[in-house]
């Protein structure tokens, strides 16, 4: 993926200090000659740590620029993307629970912020490649047919995963905002000719993920078990998801860009597929076996908008690009565990307390 003199790449990564954004920025800095502009409001846990890490990688080569800002600021977004040849939009309100508690915030960030990015890309005339990460939540219950409990997981009468022909069915403000945003992204390709791609993603997991109860549940289960903190299982724990390693997602970004003549204007379901599924209860067993620690948990009522089963069918993207996931679930969990053990200082006295203090006490450097 290295650049050549005939291929100058000026890349803006919205949400570039988050889990996916920081991993993608690291990949770009290490494997390409692109100039990378990270745009982030630093609201996510671990964002400052991720920026420090990226600055160390970039050194003084002048290829990394950082702007602290919010995608709801249309003027600032417009200035940032003015000369971009590529745009990746990972900036989002990411939790269903937060969307229910504050639907206006969810709407303004996920839909309004995406609209600001699209308009800026349309107006600046550089014809940028634009990739937007959406969610499986746009499919609601995903039409799994008859679902029944079998041991520690649910199974569906329809065995295949969910593909892009599944009707949209928004079951939460989060699903509404992300689904409306991905339709705007698609329509800007059809109406205005922007080279846009939408990824409707399943569960993404891997290194540098600061998991919480609302987002990044694989990491959250692992960290809580290691720290002796009780887990809350919403529902009965038999809910099934497919999981994709973040490195495989980065490979998908590269594949979408490399094949942009065919991927532009398309929507793709991206996930680990049938081979990388787990229920919540099965993941707890896997974590306990790997770490030797005992997980404590209790059960609560299911959360609004939760899906009993969601498994991605990524066959369309595989046909268009040749991409396939490489990491299985054991590799995924072990990569998070390895990163945790190498960064224990980030998890004391507690993740929430540490980063609440950091937001108040540590001034952020802006790098030009």
Which residues are designated catalytic?
174
Rounded Cα–Cα distance for residues 332 and 314 (Å): 18
For residues 278 and 289, what is the distance between their CA atoms, to the nearest angstrom? 15
Alpha carbons 109 and 91: distance in angstroms, whole number: 8
**How are the residues of the chain apportioned to helix, strand and coil, as percentages rounded to the nearest 5?**
45, 20, 35
Q: Alpha carbon of 240 to those of 99, 126, 274, 282: distances in Å?
A: 22, 42, 10, 9
Write out the DSSP string of 51-111: HHHHHHHHTTSS-EEEEE--TT-HHHHHHHTTT-SEEEE------HHHHHH-HHHHHIIII
Burial, 198: exposed, middle or buried (Cβ in 10 Å; 0-12, 13-18, 19+)? buried
Extract the tokens encoding 93: 């309100």
DSSP 64-78: EEEEE--TT-HHHHH
Q: Are 295 and 284 in contact (CB under 8 A)?
A: yes
Report whether 107 contacts 71 (CB < 8 A): no
Cβ atoms of residues 178 and 137 within 8 Å: yes
Other residues' Cβ atoms within 10 Å of the Cβ of residue 277: 22
Backbone phi and psi for residue 47, each to the nearest 5 degrees, phi listed first: -60, -40
Cα torsion 19, 24, 25, 30 to 10°: value is 130
- Tokens describing residue 158: 């329809």
**Closest listed residue to residue 269, CA positions, set 251, 252, 246:** 252
Where would I find the beta strands (DSSP E) of the chain? 10-14, 35-40, 64-68, 86-89, 129-135, 147-150, 153-156, 195-201, 203-205, 231-234, 240-245, 266-270, 277-279, 297-300, 309-310
């Amino acid at each position: 993926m290295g650049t050549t003199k005939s291929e100058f790449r000026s890349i803006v990564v919205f949400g570039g200090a988050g889990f996916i954004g920081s991993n993608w920025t690291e990949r770009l800095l290490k494997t390409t000659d692109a100039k990378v502009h990270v745009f982030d409001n630093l609201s996510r846990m671990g964002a400052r740590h991720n920026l420090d890490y990226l600055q160390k990688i970039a050194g003084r080569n002048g290829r990394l620029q950082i702007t602290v800002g919010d995608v709801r600021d249309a003027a600032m977004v417009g200035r940032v993307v003015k000369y971009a040849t590529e745009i990746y939009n990972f900036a989002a309100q990411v939790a269903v629970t937060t969307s229910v508690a504050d639907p206006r915030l969810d709407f303004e960030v996920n839909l309004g912020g995406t609209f600001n990015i699209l308009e800026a890309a349309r107006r600046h005339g550089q014809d940028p490649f634009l990739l937007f990460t959406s969610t499986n939540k746009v499919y609601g219950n995903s039409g799994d047919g008859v679902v029944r409990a079998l041991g520690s997981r649910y199974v569906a009468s329809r065995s295949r995963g969910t593909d892009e022909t599944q009707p949209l069915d928004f079951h939460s403000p989060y699903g509404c905002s992300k689904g409306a945003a991905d339709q705007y992204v698609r329509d800007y390709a059809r109406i205005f000719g922007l080279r846009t791609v939408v990824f409707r993603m399943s569960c993404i997991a891997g290194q540098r993920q600061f998991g919480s109860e609302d987002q990044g549940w694989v990491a959250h289960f692992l960290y809580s078990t290691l720290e002796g903190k009780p887990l809350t299982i919403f529902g009965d724990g038999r809910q099934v998801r497919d999981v994709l390693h973040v490195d495989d997602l980065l490979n998908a970004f590269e594949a979408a860009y490399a094949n942009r003549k065919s991927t532009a204007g398309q929507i793709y379901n991206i996930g680990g597929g049938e081979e990388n599924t787990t229920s919540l209860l099965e993941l707890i067993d896997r974590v306990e076996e790997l770490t030797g620690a005992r997980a404590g948990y209790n059960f609560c009522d299911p959360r609004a908008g939760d899906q009993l089963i969601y498994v991605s069918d990524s066959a369309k993207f595989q046909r268009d690009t040749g991409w396939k996931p490489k990491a299985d679930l054991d590799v995924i969990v072990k990569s998070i565990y390895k990163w945790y053990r190498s960064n224990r200082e980030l998890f004391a006295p507690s993740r929430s307390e540490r980063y609440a203090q950091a937001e108040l006490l540590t001034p952020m450097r802006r790098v030009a």
